[in-house]
Amino acid sequence: MTETRALDAAGASRKLTAAKASIAASALLAAAKLAAGLWSGSLALLSEAGHAFVDTGATALTFYAVREAEKPADAEHHYGHGKYEALAALVETGLLFGLSLIVVGEAIRRLGETQVQIDAGWPAYGVLIGSIMIDFVRSRQLSAIAEEERSDALAADAIHFASDLVSSVLALAGVAAARYGYPQGDALASFGVAGFIAIAGYRLGRRTIDTLLDAAPRDLTPQIEDAIRDVPGVMTLESLRLRSAGAEVIGEATVGVARTLRVEQAARIKDAVSEAILAAVPHARVTITADPLALDDETVVERIMLVAARRHLTAHHVLAQQLGERLSIGLDIELDGAMPMGRAHAIATDFEAAIRDEFGADVEIETHIEPLAPHVLIGRDAPPELAEEIVAALDRYSEMVGYIANIHDVRVRETAGGLVVNYHCAVDAVVPVETMHAAVDELERRVRADYPEILRIVGHAEPEDH
């Protein structure tokens, strides 16, 4: 975060420096063109001087807009102040169109005159050639900075200097034509200057209006869509809304994820989507929403557990039967043992209704209410003699049951509810799960018959070669 802020501060300083340099260059060129135009009487030069003075005002506006756009979000501007740059660019667009109309009007008037005196000497040529060189350097520099910092205001300045370069070339041609016996060439060149000013205004205005109207950035939308869809766990991209705000692209995206995921899993997918977007478009700030979707391969048990999880209920021993076209479900739910029966029944009834919403109104559902077991039992190791007896019983009955071998890592603990026994055992890797489970259950049943004080036996089966 600190590194990002440092980069943002460096970018802001760079934009402000560029804006200040543009003000100085525009003011210098405007003064030089005005002096040369008045001295020579060239309409093309005077038009260029007017264009340059407009540019000076525009670059001053650019400096103000860039400075304001870097202010952080506040209580009145939740998305920051980035659109100051777009607003400044819109004002500059109006100035460009207004100037082009003035130049056209003056050129038409000049064409109607029979006596036109133009004294184009070396100062006029020097000013125009110098202007072309400065415009070329400034337009290249500003374009590079505007692209790197995504600044609408600096992009507007770059377009200004680029149009100045072309119009200065036309003005130079008009002045040269007037010097060599074709005075109307100066007015005709002014039409070209006006045309390029108008084109620059159109290009700038189209981009600025898109920003102010929250148009989606056409070049970035496909990149962000591809980045989102490539994230593992994203099933669908349901919606993506983007808009430009100064140097940043902000928006919202909704992605579909499996509804069987845990909350923390869905959160990790959202984080991965955000990282993928930043990797593809570093200046994008997109808020991600995860929409849970039902999968085609969800089992009945998974769907029931989802319903239970939404109600923070513990459910187990789920048994589903397909009776023709009808589904029958039986399961256990655990509730606080001290809870009044009336309230417990109401909770169970609400849970059954939720299951019918999930599977259909004709589903048959029975819930068995059990007291909620304590989350943590206080235990201690059982006496060694008792533990040895239980280990011997596990070994003895495992040989009778079959499939189970190598009983090891046996732990016997005493708790307030009774004995808790944990053990590991080995099973042939090709034995089916249901066969292994039946053998483990039979082993548990026989051991508990000998030791009824056992509350729970937990057997962990693993392949023999593990």
167-189, pLDDT tens digit by residue? Answer: 677 667 766 766 666 666 666 76
Neighbours of 296 (CB within 10 A): 4
Query: Are 49 and 182 contained in the same domain?
Result: yes
Domain containing residue 331: CATH number: 3.30.70.1350
- Assess whether 175 and 240 both reside in one domain: no
Confidence class for position 333, pLDDT limits 50, 70, 90: very high
Residue 182, domain CATH? 1.20.1510.10
Please give the pLDDT value at position 2. Answer: 38
CA–CA separation, 16 and 64 (whole Å): 9
**Is the same domain home to 68 and 183?**
yes
Q: Are residues 286 and 304 in the same domain?
A: no
Q: How much is the average pLDDT of 130-158?
A: 72
Where in the sequence is the domain holding 365, given as residue range(s)? 300-371
Please check whether residues 42 and 123 belong to one and the same domain: yes
Answer yes or no: pTM beyond 0.85: no
Among 371, 406, 430, the domain boundary falls at 371
Residues 145 and 263 in one domain: no
Does residue 11 have a pLDDT over 50?
no
Instruction: Please say if the pLDDT value at position 245 is more than 70.
Output: no
249 with 107, same domain: the answer is: no
Do 304 and 349 share a domain, yes or no? yes
pLDDT in tens, 337-396: 888 989 999 999 999 999 999 888 889 999 999 888 766 778 899 999 999 999 999 999
Number of domains in the chain: 4
Location of structure tokens 């023999």: 464
Please provide the average confidence, as pLDDT, over all residues in the chain: 78
331 and 255: one domain?
no
pLDDT one-digit tens code per residue, 76-118: 665 666 666 667 767 777 777 776 777 677 667 666 655 544 5
Q: Which of 261, 293, 325 is the last residue of a domain?
A: 293
Q: How many residues does the chain have?
A: 466
Please report, rounded to a whole number, the percentage of residues in the chain having pLDDT higher than 70: 67
Q: Report the chain's terminal Cα–Cα distance, integer Å.
A: 46
Residue where a domain terminates, one of 212, 229, 252 = 212
